[in-house]
């Protein structure tokens, strides 16, 4: 399975990615997690990414695309993968098309997790208290939401035209949301 997990900040992408990836036996590739790992190790990529992430802005496409290309080329991703938080711009969609097309495969599904806007802010503020992520302040959360609407939401129409989108209600208990995603994707993997 070659899958994409999309949704606004706080919808539950990272939370659900692990369960979905385990279920289908593929690696979960989270661009946010890779950036954060680089930030904490103080690598040049981390220093570059931190400037954008702390402000709630997207890291430039060239940097993000190269990082994903390198990760997808690793052997564990040959049978499939789940992309969590990538692509987020139209330029990243094009780049990903090239990466997958090059291997002779195609995408199987795009899961879009939806949730109420105020609930999203509450979840991220709650996470701020437990994890202390620099980009989980109310001001930065609002900026991340704006950027999601202007840069990433338009991607849903692109993938809808390709018949790949499964919109999943992200409200409710984590386990309920996981069950909804499994139901949608099990139907895809059996077709
Ligand atoms: P991400 O790490 O992807 O950040 P995110 O959108 O907040 O999602 P995350 O996966 O962490 O949170 P989740 O919704 O699971 O990206 C961070 C930054 O990296 C971006 O702002 C950008 O700067 C940069 N970046 C990443 N990818 C990029 C790209 N492709 N291009 C350019 N820049 C990029 O969960 C949020 C909280 O909700 C958690 O605390 C969780 O416990 C809780 N939660 C989840 N599901 C719940 C439920 N059902 N009920 C209650 N709480 C729930």
Render pLDDT for 155-164 as a digit per residue (tens, 0 to 9).
999 999 999 9
CA distance between the termini of the chain: 12
Measured torsion, CA atoms of residues 15, 18, 21, 25, in degrees rounded to the nearest 10: -160
Render pLDDT for 44-85 as a digit per residue (tens, 0 to 9).
999 999 999 999 999 999 999 999 999 999 999 999 999 999
What is the rounded average pLDDT of the residues 170-177?
97
Q: Is the pLDDT assigned to residue 189 strictly greater than 90?
A: no
What is the rounded average pLDDT of the residues 170-179?
97
CA distance 33 to 87: 14
Ligand 1 mean position, distance from CA 99 (Å): 24
In percent, how much of the chain has pLDDT > 70?
A: 100
> Which residue is catalytic, options 2, 50, 71, 88?
88
Token duo for residue 184 = 């949608």
Contact 107, 4 (CB under 8 A): yes
Helix 138-147 crosses helix 117-131 at what angle (to 10 degrees)?
A: 130
What is the rounded average pLDDT of the residues 109-130?
95
What is the rounded average pLDDT of the residues 79-103?
96
Q: Is the pLDDT assigned to residue 32 strictly greater than 90?
A: yes
Q: Which residues pair with 5 in a beta bridge?
A: 84, 111
Note the pLDDT of residue 191.
Answer: 79
CA distance 5 to 156: 11
What is the rounded average pLDDT of the residues 96-111?
94
State whether the beta carbon of 58 lies less than 6 angstroms from ligand 1. Answer: yes
Contact 110, 20 (CB under 8 A): no
State whether the beta carbon of 38 lies less than 6 angstroms from ligand 1. Answer: no
> Which residue is catalytic, options 13, 50, 71, 180?
13
Contact 6, 113 (CB under 8 A): yes
Contact 4, 166 (CB under 8 A): no
Ligand 1 mean position, distance from CA 136 (Å): 10
Is residue 126 very low, low, confident or very high in pLDDT (cuts 50, 70, 90)? very high
Residue 16: HSE in the Cβ half-sphere, 13 Å Cα cutoff? 34
């Amino acid at each position: 399975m070659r899958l994409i997990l999309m949704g606004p900040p706080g919808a539950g992408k990272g939370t659900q990615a692990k369960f979905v990836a385990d279920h289908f036996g593929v690696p979960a590739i989270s661009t946010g997690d890779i950036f954060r790992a680089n930030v904490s190790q103080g690598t040049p990529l981390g220093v570059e990414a931190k400037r954008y992430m702390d402000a709630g802005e997207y890291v430039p496409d060239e940097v993000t695309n190269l990082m994903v290309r390198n990760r997808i080329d690793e052997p564990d991703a040959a049978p499939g993968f789940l992309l969590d938080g990538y692509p987020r711009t139209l330029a990243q969609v094009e780049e990903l098309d090239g990466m997958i097309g090059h291997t002779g495969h195609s995408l199987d599904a795009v899961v879009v997790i939806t949730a109420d806007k105020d609930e999203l802010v509450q979840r991220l503020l709650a996470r701020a208290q437990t994890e202390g992520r620099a980009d989980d302040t109310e001001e930065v959360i609002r900026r991340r939401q704006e950027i999601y609407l202007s840069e990433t939401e338009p991607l849903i129409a692109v993938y809808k035209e390709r018949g790949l989108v499964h919109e999943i209600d992200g409200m409710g208990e984590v386990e309920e949301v996981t069950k909804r995603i499994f139901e949608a994707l099990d139907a895809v993997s059996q077709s």
